[in-house]
Amino acid sequence: VMTQSILHDPLLTPHQLAVLLGRNDRTLAYWRAVKKGPKPTKLEGKIAYFCSDVDLWVKEQTTKTKEEL
């Protein structure tokens, strides 16, 4: 199991991620409920996203789109 360091892998709040992806906060909440979207993590009871998990998810979405063409 690989551990992530906040020093080398910054965290985004759900709102920051929503803005970055051009979505609204409710969309991210829905994605979490249906296990879709970037992998969330909890830090002191608050939801956050490691940038590396967001990058991986975006790359996966890009790959899927290319394969579908």
Which SS3 state, helix, strand or coil, does residue 14 take?
helix
Q: What is the pLDDT of residue 62?
A: 84
Q: What is the pLDDT of residue 6?
A: 57
pLDDT tens-digit readout, 15-66:
999 999 999 999 999 999 999 999 999 999 999 999 999 999 999 988 776 6
List C-alpha distances in Å: 20 to 7, 11, 49: 21, 13, 12
